Amino acid sequence: MPSSRHFFIAGTDTDVGKTLVACGLLRAAAAKGLRTLAIKPVAAGSEQTVDGLRNQDAVMLMAAMTEVLPYQQVNPVLLEPPIAPHIAAEQASRRISVSQLTGVCRGVMLKPADFILIEGAGGWRVPLNRQEFLSGLAVELQAPVILVVGMKLGCINHALLTAEAIRADGLRIAGWVANRIDPEMLCFEENLSSLKALLDVPCVGIIPYLGFADRDGSDVARFLNVSIL
């Protein structure tokens, strides 16, 4: 594993399994004896719990990482409605900026850990406000990207456009994960083979369709190879 110990988890779209893959990576890294941390800088969608409003993705990350952080550091910006973050922020009269998120993430990244994940929201070009995108955070952090590809019809186009945008932003794609989100996808192996050739970066893992069998990443971990990152 190279000296870069932090990675940005990006997806080809929303609901492609970024959090599940992130949890799997955290558990796979922990199995190798690494101390792990994760950050969900912006989350839209929350539930009321005994501890207050919580985002399920952030809670899952906290359960999967080895080190302990307060919720507010794992998920510094929590927006209640499950809609686009910039719209939710506008409705709540809040402003989210890349510089604000960068400061919080860098604070966490100073903590002792061997493997740190920063999970995005939605796809690569999710707006934070009328001028900035969440992808700008990955650029500021100079974080290598792990791309989660939701395997379904259209995934090749989505993956290649996302990879093109990541590279245009000057970032390295450390690897990609194929996550089968459509159990009925036709020509799965052919699509997988095309993606391997066209993306031309290491495939960290191929996750079969698991449905709701794995909600914490423990099963996903066995399909992932963190050693190649």
Q: What angle do CA 160, 118, 21 make, to 5 degrees?
A: 65
> 214: closest CA among 20, 11, 4, 7?
20
Catalytic residue among 18, 32, 40, 152: 40
SS3 177: strand
Single-letter residue type at 125 = R
DSSP H helices, the chain, are 18-31, 56-64, 71-74, 85-91, 98-109, 135-141, 155-168, 188-199
The token duo for 26 is: 């955290």
Single-letter residue type at 132 = E
> 26: closest CA among 110, 116, 106?
116
Q: Active site includes 32?
A: no
Positions annotated as catalytic residues are 40
